[in-house]
Amino acid sequence: MQPLEAGEPLTIGAYRLLGRLGAGGMGRVYLGRSAGGRTVAVKVVHPHFALDEQFRARFRREVDSARRIGAQWTAPVLDADPDAPIPWVATGYVAGPALSAAVAEHGPLPENAVRTLGAGLGEALAAVHAQGVIHRDVKPSNVLLALDGPRLIDFGIAHAMGATASLTSTGVSVGSPGYMAPEQIRGVDMSGAADVFSLGAVLAYAATGAAPFLGDSSAVLLYKVVHEEPELGELEGDLLEVVAGCLEKEPADRPTPMELARRLAPGGAAALVAAGWLPGPLVREVSRTAVALLDLEPQDAPVQSGPVPFSGAAWDASDAVGGYGPNGGVGGGFGSPPEPFRTHDPTRLSHPGVLPSWPATAGTAGAPGASGTSPRADASGLPGPRTSDPRFSVTVGADPGQDRPDADRGRRLSCTVALAVAGALAAVTVGGAFLFDLMPGGGAQNNADGNVGSTPPAATPSGGPSKPTESGTAGPERITELPKEFIGTWKGPVTEKTTGEPHGTLTAVFTAGRTGTDVVRMNTEITGLGITVSCNSVARLTSGTAEELTLHERTDPDRPSTPGLCTSTTTDVHFTRATDGTLRFRSEERGAGLPYGTLSRSGG
């Protein structure tokens, strides 16, 4: 978390501000405390959008929808003023990471945790639907994992059942590719069954570590959701039946939220939560960050390190965080508690990443759930502590409080980028429907054929190194220099395997070189809300054959990247030549969502 800067308020409404959780193109998020001592997350809309009556109407609807819910497994709206000159809303603070971050960092949840998760979210959706509201964006980054149970957040694109008026712009799809129901994609009448489909996809992700529908672009993802069966990995038994039932193509064939909840937890979700539902590593992580919150005290005056003005709709999208802990969220779209402010550490790199759940601007801060801090220079030139390891969609974290020099996380920049205004925006969104169509490629995002690169490369590519055959014949000859077939410029969309979310466009430029030298410079770029985020890296050839390469990727020291939004770890990446003349890319960084993609030769 970042201290308040000069020009920022000390109070909003009745809440004394403790620090800034995040900021970006849509507004800012602050950690606050009421006069009675309750910790809240306060979301303040950017003045640019405050002048837009359509946006105000959407914000007002978000607040009204969330206020009506008030279910046990949702985060409460405590206060709001949507008609203020600068609209704001205060929600209960949820001490826990987003599901997307927890799975990315710790792997799939155990079966008991998945059952508890499904039961709690089923009960939450039942309460949502009872108020005549469809959530429409149930996905891993909109689910928080707290010690006292899961929380469903973000009603920013919720829709009243039976409503005929819509604030969604023409051609804008509402939801997240890979988690949208078939009827939602087709644009036909929706019911609460669409949320059940999305919940089934979330449970599959929680149980297996991968989304049930994967593809190189939104177009591929949407096609698969409508026409193909889900990939459910190692799910088996009753849990497989439950998830498969939720993912039925026909809405009438899916269970209701309460039917789902009763099947997973006949005695109710609360009974499973009371018995202890989170695995040990997550319990320790949440506990540490919650304790750190107790030490926070309001500032007497903002830190005089420079102005932090609301400067326009297209802010620098560095530093986005939706809360604390690994991609933590906070109630109503925020995250787990922050740590005490850390001192500036000049030994850290200037471009560590922060996993966003909310778009950011100058001076946003890192989370206690991430290791390491560092100085950074953003559009305002404001230094400050930062977290590490962002990739959008969202999705990493580490043990809170760690800040050791030998930590792998948070030390180097990796080219794959997480844009703050991408899908993770929904964790603290205001008007998330606007975003989906503003990302690369519009509502369908990057266009791609449904059968090209629609699945990630296998762990061991078919063209990669092979073991000796039964007759003792050796596999492909190992190379000592880059094969000439790789030399040139390659470009294509990248997708996160763990979430199924698009992850920008990767450009890789290969030049001749020997093993042990840098042979490729990479750039990952993603654009939205007038913001273009660019991350640059280089990679050293470590091994390979004529068909498949393994390289070690790190920060490009010669090309500056967008501050704050690029992953900061080194990692191994793989490039494999395909028979159709394309190049398959695959990264091994789980904290980044295991990005992969299919690249084609470019004239650049």
Contact 335, 71 (CB under 8 A): no
Q: What is the CA radius of gyration of the chain?
A: 23
Question: Rounded distance, CA 155 to CA 358, Å?
Answer: 14
Q: Which two tokens stand for residue 312?
A: 């326009």
Let me know if residue 331 belongs to a domain. no
Count of the separate structural domains present in the chain: 2
Displacement of CA 547 from its chain's centroid (Å): 33
**Arithmetic mean of pLDDT, 127-148:** 90
- pLDDT tier for residue 26 given thresholds of 50, 70 and 90: low
- pLDDT tier for residue 23 given thresholds of 50, 70 and 90: low
pLDDT, tens only, 331-340: 433 333 333 3
What whole-number percentage of the chain has pLDDT above 70? 64
Q: In the predicted model, is pLDDT for residue 593 greater than 50? A: yes
Question: Rounded distance, CA 602 to CA 509, Å?
Answer: 9
Task: Indicate the residue among 281, 315, 333 that finishes a domain.
Answer: 281
pLDDT, tens only, 452-472: 333 344 433 444 444 444 444
Question: Rounded distance, CA 424 to CA 418, Å?
Answer: 9
Average pLDDT, the chain: 70
Let me know if residue 70 belongs to a domain. no
Question: Rounded distance, CA 478 to CA 460, Å?
Answer: 15
- pLDDT tier for residue 450 given thresholds of 50, 70 and 90: very low
Regarding pTM above 0.85, the answer is no
pLDDT, tens only, 472-502: 455 678 899 999 999 999 999 988 777 777 7
Question: Rounded distance, CA 569 to CA 351, Å?
Answer: 11
Q: In the predicted model, is pLDDT for residue 56 greater than 70? A: yes
Q: How many CB atoms are closer than 10 A to CB 361?
A: 32
Let me know if residue 193 belongs to a domain. yes
Let me know if residue 213 belongs to a domain. yes
Max mean pLDDT among 209-223, 427-441, 457-471, 503-517 falls in 503-517
Question: Rounded distance, CA 345 to CA 78, Å?
Answer: 37
Let me know if residue 139 belongs to a domain. yes
**Arithmetic mean of pLDDT, 509-527:** 92
**Would you state the pLDDT for residue 93?**
83
Q: Which two tokens stand for residue 309?
A: 């003005």
Q: Which positions ≥6 away from 298 have C-beta within 8 Å? A: 10, 16, 17, 18, 33
**Would you state the pLDDT for residue 299?**
64
**Would you state the pLDDT for residue 102?**
92
Instruction: Identify the weakest region by mean pLDDT among 47-61, 91-105, 229-243, 535-549.
Output: 47-61
Let me know if residue 593 belongs to a domain. yes
Q: Which residue has the higher pLDDT, 189 or 471?
A: 189
Q: Which two tokens stand for residue 11?
A: 């109070």
- For the four alpha carbons of 285, 93, 341 and 100, in that order, the dihedral sign comes to positive
Let me know if residue 286 belongs to a domain. no
**Arithmetic mean of pLDDT, 64-82:** 84
**Would you state the pLDDT for residue 146?**
92
The residues pairing with 33 across neighbouring beta strands, listed in sequence order, are 16, 39
**Which CATH number characterizes residue 176's domain?**
1.10.510.10
Task: Indicate the residue among 221, 248, 281 that finishes a domain.
Answer: 281
Q: Three-state secondary structure along 405-474?
A: CCCCCCCCCCCCECCCCCHHHHHHCCCHHHHHHHCCCHHHCCCCCCCCCCCCCCCCCCCCCCCCCCCCCC
Question: Rounded distance, CA 158 to CA 180, Å?
Answer: 13
Domain carrying residue 181: 96-281
Question: Rounded distance, CA 297 to CA 532, Å?
Answer: 36
Backbone angles phi, psi at 68, to 5 degrees: -70, -25
**Arithmetic mean of pLDDT, 589-593:** 69
**Arithmetic mean of pLDDT, 19-28:** 71
**Which CATH number characterizes residue 563's domain?**
2.40.128
Question: Rounded distance, CA 264 to CA 73, Å?
Answer: 15
Task: Indicate the residue among 281, 314, 342 that finishes a domain.
Answer: 281
Report the catalytic residues.
137
**Would you state the pLDDT for residue 66?**
77
Let me know if residue 24 belongs to a domain. no
Q: Which two tokens stand for residue 41?
A: 């997350």
pLDDT, tens only, 77-111: 899 999 888 899 998 888 888 899 899 889 999 99
Question: Rounded distance, CA 221 to CA 493, Å?
Answer: 13
Residue type, 322: G
The CA distances from residue 256 to 130, 237, 327, in Å, are 12, 20, 30
pLDDT, tens only, 284-319: 988 887 787 777 777 665 544 333 444 333 233 333
**Would you state the pLDDT for residue 241?**
96
Max mean pLDDT among 17-26, 491-500, 505-514 falls in 505-514
